[in-house]
Amino acid sequence: MSDDPEDRMLGWDESVFRDEHVFEIDWLPETFKHRDTQMETLKYALRPAVRGSRPLNVIARGPPGTGKTTAVQILFDELTAQTDVKTVRVNCQMDSTRYAVFSRLFAEIFDYEPPSSGISFKKLFSQITDKLVEEDEVLVVALDDVNYLFYESEASDTLYSLLRAHEAHSGAKIGVICVSSDLELDVIDALDTRVQSVFRPEEVYFNPYGQAEIADILGERADRGFNEGVVGPTVLDRVAELTEEQGGDLRVGIDLLRRAGMNAEMRASRSVETEDVEEAYDKSKYVHLSRRLRELSDSETALVEVIAAHDGQQAGDIYDAFSEQTDLGYTRYSEIINKLDQLDIIDADYTNVEGRGRSRELTLNYDADAVLERL
């Protein structure tokens, strides 16, 4: 083999990637590693649905990127392929009101969207339950990122409607899986007592992956996604180490592998080096932030921009700047602050201000330039 450096460089029509789709967040692995206990608990809760009965309800909790959504998707795929159970996963970041959740259920059950206006919730609800009873189907609903329903004060009404469906329409059988990445949110405690009395869920905790587990999972993905020899053990260990530093969030590690591969290609290299990983980490470590910012409304985005420009100032002073850009009142302003605080984009701690009493100090949890760059 020639030692000429040119022979070790990528050609224009070559790539380090075998299958780049493997590094997409929604790609489902053929083997779901290090989650056997959680999968068994979920299967136990859903087994009654296979027999035509209402399944047990479930709360699946854990930090971001620990396999909660993947577990639900794998089980739902199995149920759809092997049984008559109807499954619907609702992304509550996108559908964060009761009406939006039931509109998503309607679309999945009827295979077309409900009218955009002119249909009441009561009619929407009755058409869904009528269809379930008519087809004698059991429905399992996964409310993914259910914490967003709590942020919008919609969780109790949404769950009440789902869990009491059999009372409104005899024969309707619906089970609910609530998936939450907000470890500070006590789902049960945050619900109305009328919902607590009927929810009574099984609880499944998805603990953060350890570094060895991360390396094992990402190693399999690297084998599938990269050509042979592109990622060596030293590089993989560094990716696993940086991923563990970000709370064991696999989404960081997956994004880090993809960006490191792209960096290697920019150098026309046939292999990923540690330097490619280090450079990629400056962007991959903000995977959480990018995802959360993308889901904000225009007014929420506007407030983040104002806080970035007035980082560390009191809420009253920031409202003055915010009100110049929007027509929103202080009540809505306070609601947005609470949501941004719950999303961990900002800290909104109360402090004593001389002559003004207690006031909230608004501080970004990320570098201001990194936030503004991703808005």
User: Within this chain, do residues 313 and 266 fall inside the same structural domain, yes or no?
Assistant: no
Among 184, 203, 222, the domain-final residue is 203
Say which CATH number the domain at 91 has: 3.40.50.300
Say which CATH number the domain at 304 has: 1.10.10.10
Q: How far apart are CA 90 and CA 143, in angstroms?
A: 5
Q: Residue 326, annotated ligand binder? A: no
The reply to whether 4 falls in a domain is no
User: Within this chain, do residues 159 and 223 fall inside the same structural domain, yes or no?
Assistant: no
Q: pLDDT-based confidence at 356, cuts 50/70/90?
A: low
Q: Residue 243, annotated ligand binder? A: no
Q: Residue 87, annotated ligand binder? A: no
The reply to whether 179 falls in a domain is yes
Q: How far apart are CA 35 and CA 52, in angstroms?
A: 27
Question: What pLDDT digit, counting tens, does each position of 155-175 carry?
Answer: 999 999 999 999 888 999 999
- Domain range enclosing 240: 208-290
Does residue 1 register a pLDDT over 50? no
Q: How far apart are CA 182 and CA 368, in angstroms?
A: 23
Q: Residue 66, annotated ligand binder? A: yes
User: Within this chain, do residues 59 and 105 fall inside the same structural domain, yes or no?
Assistant: yes
- Three-class secondary structure of residue 372 per DSSP: helix
User: Within this chain, do residues 40 and 102 fall inside the same structural domain, yes or no?
Assistant: yes
Strands 202-205 vs 173-180: parallel, antiparallel or unpaired: unpaired
For residue 117, give the amino acid letter. Answer: S
Q: Per-residue pLDDT averaged across 255-279, rounded?
A: 96
User: Within this chain, do residues 285 and 305 fall inside the same structural domain, yes or no?
Assistant: no
Among 144, 168, 203, the domain-final residue is 203
Does residue 231 register a pLDDT over 80? yes
List, in order, residues 6 or more apart from 272 with CB less than 8 Å away: 16, 226, 230, 231, 232, 235, 257, 260, 261, 263, 264
The reply to whether 22 falls in a domain is no
Which candidate, 151, 221, 216, 161, places its Cα nearest to that of 181? 151
User: Within this chain, do residues 116 and 181 fall inside the same structural domain, yes or no?
Assistant: yes
Q: Residue 193, annotated ligand binder? A: no
The reply to whether 1 falls in a domain is no
The reply to whether 308 falls in a domain is yes
- The total domain count for the chain is 3
How many CA atoms, within 13 angstroms, populate the side-chain half-sphere of residue 343?
28
User: Within this chain, do residues 63 and 187 fall inside the same structural domain, yes or no?
Assistant: yes
Among 238, 273, 290, the domain-final residue is 290
Mean pLDDT, the chain, integer = 93
Q: How far apart are CA 344 and CA 363, in angstroms?
A: 10
The reply to whether 138 falls in a domain is yes
User: Within this chain, do residues 160 and 259 fall inside the same structural domain, yes or no?
Assistant: no
User: Within this chain, do residues 359 and 232 fall inside the same structural domain, yes or no?
Assistant: no
Question: What pLDDT digit, counting tens, does each position of 174-188 carry?
Answer: 999 999 999 999 999
DSSP for 178-227 reads EEE--TT--HHHHS-HHHHHHH--EEEE-PPPPHHHHHHHHHHHHHHHB-
- Three-class secondary structure of residue 28 per DSSP: coil
Q: pLDDT-based confidence at 295, cuts 50/70/90?
A: confident
Q: Residue 301, annotated ligand binder? A: no
Any idea which residue has 């280090």 for tokens? Answer: 278
Let me know: does 322 contact 362? Beta carbons within 8 Å.
no
Give the pLDDT confidence score for residue 221 in this predicted structure.
96
Does residue 273 register a pLDDT over 90? yes
The reply to whether 64 falls in a domain is yes
User: Within this chain, do residues 225 and 267 fall inside the same structural domain, yes or no?
Assistant: yes
The reply to whether 3 falls in a domain is no
